[in-house]
């Protein structure tokens, strides 16, 4: 009931979350094929994925200004650009053009991410109830469905360019539902307290660690199953799909749990669960046990990022909300691109098992950060 009410209240930005999930689920499932076509090693491919960060950071910094200019059609326009950008990496013939295309993808993704999270935060303020976990859960549903469908597409020998084109068309059609007026955000009394620097930094670091852990599984789980554990293409695609499914379950559950327990308690428990899951995945002897590990990690890490974004939305004046979320997003969402690069380097020299153990240790850094935020 909590989840259905939350999705009903935030149905328009929820469609944007589905759109982003469809994109990254398909991309994650096709990573082994895209990497093989480019003919690069793990470290180089990780650096190519880092190109995404250039476009992402630029667009996220500019998002508050574009939000003012585009107004009610902001999510629509950014989603259409997102759909068009997805065609580029599928047709990229070499590493250079792939890197350039990922810069453009990052810019479109970053703009969409900031605007949809800002709209949800506004609705949380309007309705005085948590909505972020439910929306991030619907992202995970879109991600999982897209990853599973893309796994079957790979088994059917459908090329990345064709698969990406189908997803782009779907995103374009869904963008018709994203018209949403922006709430008036005139300056309020809280603005006299000064710029909320530390809440933005600490929430950003919490989201960064959570998204780095998540991105490690999204990008490298298929390769771990296929290369380390000897699975075939469909089994490899089930790695990111398992993450998406369990993250959806965790976020739907977190929507109810966040209304009964403090954010600090929920985040600490979720961090311990995520770290345990990463260890399971790292030490897995077969694809089945890797799925178990990815599932446990997904349950845990699922609620940390959304709660970090929700916390900063509650901690700043109304007129600074979009700007604060954009700054947290710049810090946090860069984890999706830093993690693949760093883990690619670790994998190159020590293997993917060690890379997932590093992800476990990384996730535990959330605990001191949330305790410090609570003191502030």
Question: Is the per-residue pLDDT at 190 higher than 80?
Answer: no
Nearest to 124 by CA among 183, 188, 197: 183
Q: What is the pLDDT of residue 183?
A: 66
Question: Is the per-residue pLDDT at 19 higher than 90?
Answer: yes
Query: If you ran DSSP here, which 8-state letter would residue 193 be given?
Result: G
pLDDT in tens, 195-252: 777 888 898 899 999 988 888 887 778 888 888 888 877 788 788 778 878 888 888 8
Query: If you ran DSSP here, which 8-state letter would residue 184 be given?
Result: P
Contact call for residues 19 and 79 (beta carbons, < 8 A): yes
Q: What is the pTM of this model?
A: 0.73
d(CA 151, CA 158): 10
Cα dihedral across residues 57, 212, 312, 372: positive or negative? negative
Nearest to 68 by CA among 122, 115, 7, 117: 115
Helix (H, G, I), strand (E, B) or coil at 314: helix
Tokens found for residue 373 = 């935020």
Nearest to 19 by CA among 134, 165, 178: 178
Question: Is the per-residue pLDDT at 188 higher than 60?
Answer: no
Tokens found for residue 307 = 């709660």
Query: If you ran DSSP here, which 8-state letter would residue 376 be given?
Result: -
pLDDT in tens, 166-175: 999 999 999 9
Top-ranked range on mean pLDDT: pick from 123-137, 238-252, 334-348, 361-375: 361-375
Contact call for residues 363 and 298 (beta carbons, < 8 A): no
Q: Other CB atoms closer than 10 Å to residue 89's CB: what's the count?
A: 24
Give the mean pLDDT of 101-126.
Answer: 87
Tokens found for residue 216 = 């490690």
d(CA 119, CA 125): 10
Domain parsing of the chain, residue ranges = 2-182+193-375
Confidence of residue 276 (pLDDT cuts 50, 70, 90): very high
What are residue 40's phi and psi, to 5 degrees? -115, 160
Q: In CATH, what is the architecture of 2-182+193-375? A: Up-down Bundle (1.20)
Confidence of residue 364 (pLDDT cuts 50, 70, 90): very high
Tokens found for residue 241 = 């799909």
Question: Is the per-residue pLDDT at 159 higher than 80?
Answer: yes
Question: Is the per-residue pLDDT at 194 higher than 70?
Answer: no
Give the mean pLDDT of 157-181.
Answer: 90
Question: Is the per-residue pLDDT at 97 higher than 80?
Answer: yes
% of residues, the chain, pLDDT over 70: 95
């Amino acid at each position: 009931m909590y989840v259905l009410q939350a999705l009903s209240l935030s149905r328009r930005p929820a469609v944007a979350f589905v759109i982003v999930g469809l994109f990254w689920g398909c991309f994650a499932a096709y990573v082994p094929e895209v990497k093989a076509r480019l003919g690069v090693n793990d470290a180089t491919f990780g650096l190519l994925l880092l190109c995404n960060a250039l476009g992402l950071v630029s667009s996220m910094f500019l998002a508050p200004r574009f939000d003012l200019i585009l107004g009610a059609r902001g999510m629509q326009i950014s989603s259409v650009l997102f759909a068009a950008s997805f065609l580029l990496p599928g047709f990229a013939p070499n590493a250079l053009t792939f890197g350039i295309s990922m810069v453009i993808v990052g810019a479109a993704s970053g703009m969409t991410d900031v605007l949809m999270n800002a709209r949800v935060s506004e609705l949380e303020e309007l309705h005085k109830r948590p909505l972020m976990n439910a929306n991030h859960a619907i992202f995970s549903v879109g991600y999982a469905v897209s990853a599973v469908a893309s796994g079957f597409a790979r088994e059917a020998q459908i090329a990345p360019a064709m698969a990406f084109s189908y997803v782009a068309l779907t995103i374009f059609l869904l963008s018709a539902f994203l018209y949403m007026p922006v709430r008036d955000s005139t300056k309020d009394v809280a603005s006299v307290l000064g710029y909320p620097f530390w809440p933005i930094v600490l929430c950003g670091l919490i989201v960064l660690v959570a998204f780095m852990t998540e991105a490690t599984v999204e990008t490298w789980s298929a390769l771990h199953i296929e290369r380390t554990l000897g699975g075939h293409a469909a089994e490899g695609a089930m790695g990111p799909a398992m993450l998406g499914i369990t993250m959806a379950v965790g976020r739907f559950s977190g929507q109810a749990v966040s209304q009964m327990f403090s954010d600090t308690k929920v985040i600490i428990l979720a961090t311990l669960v995520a770290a345990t899951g990463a260890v399971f995945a790292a030490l897995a002897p077969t694809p089945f046990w890797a799925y178990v590990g990815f599932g446990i990690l997904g349950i845990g890490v699922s609620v940390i990022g959304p709660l970090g974004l929700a916390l900063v939305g509650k901690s700043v004046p109304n007129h600074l909300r979009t700007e604060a979320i954009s700054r947290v997003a710049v810090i946090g969402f860069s984890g999706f691109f830093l993690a693949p690069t760093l883990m690619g380097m670790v994998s190159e020299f020590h293997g993917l098992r060690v890379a997932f153990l590093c992800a476990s240790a990384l996730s535990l850094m959330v605990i001191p950060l949330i305790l410090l935020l609570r003191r502030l």
